[in-house]
Amino acid sequence: MSSNLNPDPVQPLSLGNVISAGLRMYSSHLKSYLGLAFNAYVWIIVPVYGWAKCSAILALISRLCFGELVNQPESVRSGRKVINSRLWQFLLMNLLMLVIFSVFLIVLIILYLIAAVAIAGLITALTSGGNTLNPGIVILLILFGIIFLGAILTATLWIQARLFVVEIPLAIEDNIDATSTISRSWELTKGQVWRIVGILLVGYLITIPIQAPLSIVNVLIQFALGRLAQTQENPSLLLLSSLINIAISLVSAAIVVPFWQAIKATIYYDLRSRREGLGLQLRDHDI
């Protein structure tokens, strides 16, 4: 892990810089990165070892992108050697992330249930004895619901931003393991949450049109096979429907994941440049 080499932070990359850098790297290395992405999602069907391989290969894409950003390009073979040496750390990291997000989800569910019970109790109290709800109370309850859901969405985006680059230090830095890579992401993203959230939202807007056609095709296939299974009373068609659904979902994810890994590498590069004074600059020629 690098020390703080420069106490004076440099200006962060703009949202547009990050997005354009991700798009440039994706388009310039389309064949290589797509090949790695599809390879990763083929491994995901193999329990445990395959899950570790999938996570490591996706992190490899970010490592290769980072090498391009610092003008030190690395071959897939060379990067794979480093990544494979940390294979089980990637699996452990994902298990820890699962625990973190599970706890976060449980907390949100508890808060939602408390709010729901409180609102139900309030409505019951106000309508006891045959009374009708005052329109003003109804409006306040609706506003509370909107604010509460907004708070949940905000909290979700906040924790996603804090852990957005979680696998990148493990893929790039020395002396990093499954636990320290999580704290490293938390450290690097401090004070930059809402800028990262903005990048996430723009990234979603870019990838939705790419994934939407496949999603529509998937829905149509599921509907057609479902109706056919009911007509012919053939359970094997339901199995076929599930397999097609999984296949299309994995293909859809594999198409966009190199873009997201490039975005992660760019944000990681930017955060380290500012916080640690690496003195790096984006390559101004075509990557």
Domain extent for 195: 15-276
- pTM: predicted TM-score of the whole model, two decimal places: 0.84
Q: Is residue 42 part of a domain?
A: yes
CA distance 23 to 158: 24
Q: Is residue 154 part of a domain?
A: yes
pLDDT of 138 reads 75
Q: Is residue 9 part of a domain?
A: no
pLDDT of 94 reads 95
Total of domains in the chain: 1
pLDDT of 136 reads 75
Mention every residue, 6+ apart, whose C-beta is less than 8 A from residue 264.
62, 164, 165, 167, 168
Q: Is residue 216 part of a domain?
A: yes
pLDDT of 5 reads 36
pLDDT of 11 reads 57
Query: What confidence tens digit (pLDDT) does each residue in 42-94 have?
Result: 999 899 999 999 999 999 999 999 999 988 999 999 999 999 999 999 999 99
Q: Is residue 123 part of a domain?
A: yes
pLDDT over 70, % of the chain: 89
Q: Is residue 229 part of a domain?
A: yes
Query: What confidence tens digit (pLDDT) does each residue in 236-251 have?
Result: 777 888 888 888 888 9
Nearest CA among 277, 276, 270 for reference residue 196: 270
pLDDT of 188 reads 94
Query: What residues of the chain score a pLDDT lower than 50?
Result: 1-10, 280-287
pLDDT of 287 reads 37
CA distance 115 to 284: 52
Residue 130 has what DSSP assignment?
G
Residue 238 has what DSSP assignment?
H
pLDDT of 203 reads 92
pLDDT of 133 reads 66
Report in angstroms the alpha-carbon separations of 49 from 34, 43, 141, 166, 286: 21, 8, 49, 20, 37
Q: Is residue 281 part of a domain?
A: no
Q: Is residue 135 part of a domain?
A: yes
pLDDT of 119 reads 81
